[in-house]
Amino acid sequence: MRNIVTYENASRVRWQRERGIVVDVQGARMSSGMIPRSNIDDNEASISASVPYYPGRDELWVGTGVVNGEVDDREMVHPMAEGAEAYYVYESGDTASIRAGSSLIRLRELRVRPRKVAWNVVVGSLWFDEDRGTLVRAAFRFAAPFDFWLNLRDIDSSAAKELADNIPRVMRPLLLDVRGQMQAVTLEYALYAGRFWLPRARYAEGMIQISFARLPYRLEESFRYDAVNGTDSLAGMPPIVVPPVVPLTMEGQQKRDSIRAVQRARRDSVSKGLIPDSRAADPACDTSAFYTDIRYASDGLTPVLTRVPCDRRRLATSAALPPDQAPDTADLFGSKAREELVAQVMAMNVQPLFAPQRPTVHVGTGLFRYNRVEGLSLGAAVRQQLGAGYATGVTGRLGVADLIPNFALEFTRTDLRHTWALTSYRELAGASDDNPLSVGSSVGALLFGRDEGYYYRRAGVSLSYTSSPLSSGAQTGWRLFAERQQLASTNATWSLGRPMRDSNITVLRAGYAGLSFDGSRTIGSAVGRGLLTSAVQLEGAVTDADARSGYGRATMQLALTRSVGAFSAALNLSGGGSLGQLPAQRMWYLGGTHTLPGLSFGTAGGDAFWLARAELSRGVPLFRPVVFADLGWAGSRDSWQRGYRPLGDVGIGLRALDGLVRFNVARALYPVSRTRLSVSLERKF
């Protein structure tokens, strides 16, 4: 998991009913796993602050931010809105008592479950003060992902069509499948002055999926109150008046253009060193130490005045900000304190009611692939939410070259952290652990004629389980399978580059039954102390090809990354061994962009292997030149300790997007001597 951007803000917020809200931004900084903080232009960083309270603000935090008295199913269906009983069922839960001075405060839990699975309803737990009827604690998640195109058409078909028409044609295939889900929200309130429940901490995490890319996000807010319903310096301040919006006329456009011209001129002067970079590119900073932004809050009634110092450099180093932490390890408010709340809404027994919904059809770049067995393979998926955590789906695909239909019929149950799946399938599978049927491998096969995989066909059933905590770097899973495996003939060699080689491994038709296990864990940070990523794969199976035959195999991978200043070093180690008679489709193969880029895929193979890579790079993770060297061996496990010369290569390259995209020019050292250019996507290590 790679950090894209982290934004931190500390502000002082004051509110009085007669005047409005005044926000003084005291600290702000933006950092990225792709670009160091020192390289981010703070003058262009968005300055925003969260207002904990204003009259009419929705206590559940998400949605429009304003209490809606009646249900509107085009947005989040608030469980406390009038008419919400048509969308939810309610159950009284636990009770608790809190002693506040001489008063005893009684709390009661209300459990909320949707009547059907939908993107705009929530499932979870709400705690209320019995006497005041005020929300004091909440933990919930949305019942289903938001399918961008499907749900947007339901909400506003004309807006969906207009947006689709404005997307460049070259980008449309990448945006066929866009989904997102807020997977856990926790809210904690505290009692002030014995009367007012105000937010103390708010947390949300979820996932956005764009085609084959998965983008997790996390949002944390914490509030501290110096005074509630007390006196403050706003007493002598006149009411805040929001200026009228400049109409979109030629005169108004000219005014905006003149402001942009001043901003561009100041940015150009700063970049050329003509004036010091100490003030924001805003005309107001020519006459004041700060500039202001005045607008209404989400309710459209409460005016908000935000003041930002013109010297943005002071904001990034402000003592009001939390301690400077690496962006992918920062935990500002303590994950342990909220684990109990998150566990309440991420449990298998906390689900919507069982109510099957209409099936939906999905297509996307993840269902298109290209290889020398199928040629161009096209696929589509039909999914149906059943409720109570259950879902079913069928994925079908057909290769243009082999015309052999493939399918996978899946029945799942999930609470978003733990997923059980029962699957029946007939499919093409890759022999190597690096998935040769991924989008990245398909691009290499289509453009350059490098289909880096051996293939076989399998048909059977499997029962699998995966555990993937949202905020944790650990993932585990296992798969119990019974299937029949057989040879896959090559049928296509055409590509835009050179023809693909017409070869494949020989696979005997046989039945296999076994169990596999996968686990991975990430510790630390690539900034500072280092990032350690580990993965282990175990698999064992018996076969009906021979009464005495069967196999076991194990793979271990370690990747250590350490950055010091502009330099970054990485050491990757992996190895594997086996027991019994390992079939050709479960052996390890070296060569190609995922192992030794200076050599062709399948240069060496066997029932044991080891591989080592060292990298040294300089620059920012967004684009980083690198030098590397690889050593590896694959062959018979009985001879791995004997004298031999390992395969090797050295090279230079470019890493883009923190290594997600890699360009290599590698010189093979053994067993051949040649130079090879390669491009790889989605490499794990």
- For 414-434, write each residue's pLDDT tens digit: 988 889 999 999 999 999 777
8 A C-beta contact, residue 10 and residue 24: no
Question: Can you give the pLDDT at residue 279?
Answer: 41
What one-character DSSP code corresponds to residue 234? Answer: G
Which residue in 105, 150, 145, 143 sits closest to 127, CA to CA?
Answer: 105
Q: Is a pLDDT exceeding 90 seen at residue 250?
A: no
Question: Can you give the pLDDT at residue 543?
Answer: 92
Beta-carbon contacts of 73 under 8 Å, excluding residues fewer than 6 positions away, are 87, 120
The helix (H) or strand (E) run that includes residue 439 is helix 439-448
Exposure string (b/e) for 19-33, b if CB count within 10 Å is 16 or more?
Answer: bbbbbebbbbbbbbb
The helix (H) or strand (E) run that includes residue 264 is helix 250-271
pLDDT tier, 556 (very low <50, low <70, confident <90, very high otherwise): very high
Q: Is a pLDDT exceeding 50 seen at residue 614?
A: yes
Among 161-175, 487-501, 669-683, the minimum mean pLDDT is found in: 161-175
Question: Can you give the pLDDT at residue 331?
Answer: 41
Question: Can you give the pLDDT at residue 255?
Answer: 55
Torsion of CA 311, 315, 320, 324, to 10 degrees: -150
pLDDT tier, 326 (very low <50, low <70, confident <90, very high otherwise): very low
CA distance 524 to 535: 15
DSSP helix/strand/coil, 103: strand
Question: Can you give the pLDDT at residue 535?
Answer: 93
DSSP helix/strand/coil, 84: helix
More confident residue, 85 or 149: 85
Question: Can you give the pLDDT at residue 259?
Answer: 52
Question: Can you give the pLDDT at residue 390?
Answer: 93
Stretch 226-249: mean pLDDT, rounded?
Answer: 73
Beta-carbon contacts of 287 under 8 Å, excluding residues fewer than 6 positions away, are none
8 A C-beta contact, residue 464 and residue 482: no
Q: Is a pLDDT exceeding 80 seen at residue 45?
A: no
Question: Can you give the pLDDT at residue 261?
Answer: 61
More confident residue, 152 or 204: 204
Among 39-43, 99-103, 300-304, the minimum mean pLDDT is found in: 39-43
pLDDT tier, 398 (very low <50, low <70, confident <90, very high otherwise): very high
Beta-carbon contacts of 372 under 8 Å, excluding residues fewer than 6 positions away, are 445, 451, 490, 491, 492, 493, 500, 501, 502, 504
CA distance 515 to 47: 52
Q: Is a pLDDT exceeding 90 seen at residue 558?
A: yes
Stretch 356-371: mean pLDDT, rounded?
Answer: 83
In the CATH scheme, what is the code of domain 524-533+554-685?
A: 2.40.160.50
What's the whole-number average pLDDT of the chain?
A: 81
DSSP helix/strand/coil, 169: helix
Tell me the C-alpha to C-alpha distance, in Å, between residue 324 and each of 1, 43, 278, 472, 498.
20, 19, 22, 20, 51
8 A C-beta contact, residue 654 and residue 662: yes
Question: Can you give the pLDDT at residue 682?
Answer: 60
8 A C-beta contact, residue 84 and residue 72: no
Burial class (CB in 10 A: 0-12, 13-18, 19+), 39: exposed
Residue 160 token pair: 């969906």
pLDDT tier, 611 (very low <50, low <70, confident <90, very high otherwise): very high
Residues in the chain: 685
Question: Can you give the pLDDT at residue 571?
Answer: 93
Residue 439 token pair: 């989008």
CA distance 9 to 29: 7
Question: Can you give the pLDDT at residue 345?
Answer: 65
The helix (H) or strand (E) run that includes residue 163 is helix 157-166
Domain range annotation of the chain: 53-222+322-343, 354-459+480-507, 524-533+554-685
Question: Can you give the pLDDT at residue 209?
Answer: 81
| Three-class DSSP labels, 323-371 | CCCCCCCCCCCCHHHHHHHHHHHCCCCCCCCECCCCCEEECCHHHCEEE
Stretch 51-77: mean pLDDT, rounded?
Answer: 76
405 CB neighbour count, 10 Å cutoff = 10
Residue 267 token pair: 């940015």
pLDDT tier, 328 (very low <50, low <70, confident <90, very high otherwise): very low
8 A C-beta contact, residue 590 and residue 453: no
Question: Can you give the pLDDT at residue 335?
Answer: 54
The helix (H) or strand (E) run that includes residue 594 is none
DSSP per-residue letters across 250-263: HHHHHHHHHHHHHH
Question: Can you give the pLDDT at residue 8?
Answer: 81
Question: Can you give the pLDDT at residue 334?
Answer: 47
Residue 200 dihedral angles phi and psi, to the nearest 5°? -105, -40
Stretch 660-674: mean pLDDT, rounded?
Answer: 89
